[in-house]
Amino acid sequence: MISGGDGLSRGDAAAERIQKILSAHGIASRRDAEKMILEGRVTVNGLTARLGQSAQSGRDDIAVDGTSLSPVKEKVYIMLNKPRGYITTRSDERGRKTVMELVEGSGAKVYPVGRLDMYSEGLLLMTNDGQFANSVAHPSNNHAKTYELRVRGDAAGALELLRRPMEIDSRIVQAKSVSLVETTADGGDFRVTVGEGRNRQIRKMCALCGLRVLSLRRVSIGALEIGALEPGHWRYLTEEEIKSLNT
């Protein structure tokens, strides 16, 4: 194989951005892969990769921390019911429990699609298919996400406020639907559906309305529902479920 000075093989029409290749191999999400490239952890044909660089998987020698990528294996799609207390990342320098521990029995090198914070529970998708992950997680694809939450505060008084547009992190956001399921002595239970599902969006929405979130559980993404899957357990997605999220 003849390589140019930038570490790329020439004349490869199928060359792709390196972060896309890393994502497709289940190494990291595209955003995390970009960070790895900027940190100098990725090489192409022995030379340090640069952000925006392209290569051809299977011909160029792409390595992360000195280890070359192995061929992409069969694509795997998993639904996990994430319990409270686990963080949505592949590893944690502080030694906290991660969702990776819960899917060790899958026999595949998968990574989380999107995020659920440490104190949130419920439906979390995991895969080694980078294209699928980007399609599901990207806000522009508008896969509605529904959450069940218990709050402390004036739930009835906050209902109409939660339904209105509000500014969060310099963006105007608005829930697709908000319903007050039940009131309690010190708060209530809501069911909230959002389109984009930005970082901690529902918690921030509640805070702006004077509510404190006591528990938060994601129960659906698009047409995919968590159903009776027990906390800490996982299952493979069906072909129909995969197709519903790819459209």
The CATH number assigned to the domain holding 214 equals 3.30.70.1560
Q: Same domain, yes or no, for 89 and 45? A: no
H-state helical runs in the chain: 18-24, 30-38, 130-137, 155-163, 201-208, 239-245
* Same domain, residue pair 60 and 123: no
Q: Does residue 1 belong to any structural domain of this protein? A: no
Contact in structure between 86 and 98 (CB atoms under 8 Å): yes
| Closest listed residue to residue 112, CA positions, set 227, 243, 229, 23 | 23
Residue-range definition of the domain harbouring residue 99: 77-135+229-245
Instruction: Please indicate, yes or no, whether residues 197 and 177 belong to a single structural domain of this protein.
Output: yes
Q: What is the pTM of this model?
A: 0.73
- What CATH number does the domain containing 36 carry? 3.10.290.10
Same domain? For 148 and 117 the reply is no
Residue 14's pLDDT band, with cuts at 50, 70 and 90, is low
Distance from chain centroid for Cα 38: 21
Residue 167 and residue 108 share a domain? no
Told to judge if 189 belongs to the known catalytic residues of this protein, a careful annotator would answer no
Q: For the segment 73-120, what is each residue's pLDDT rounded down to a tens digit?
A: 688 999 999 999 999 988 888 889 999 999 988 878 888 988 899 999
On whether both 127 and 161 belong to a single domain, the answer is no
Q: What is the pLDDT of residues 148-183, one digit of tens each?
A: 999 999 999 999 999 999 999 899 999 999 999 999
User: How many domains, in total, are found in the chain?
Assistant: 3
Among 117, 129, 169, 186, the active-site one is 117
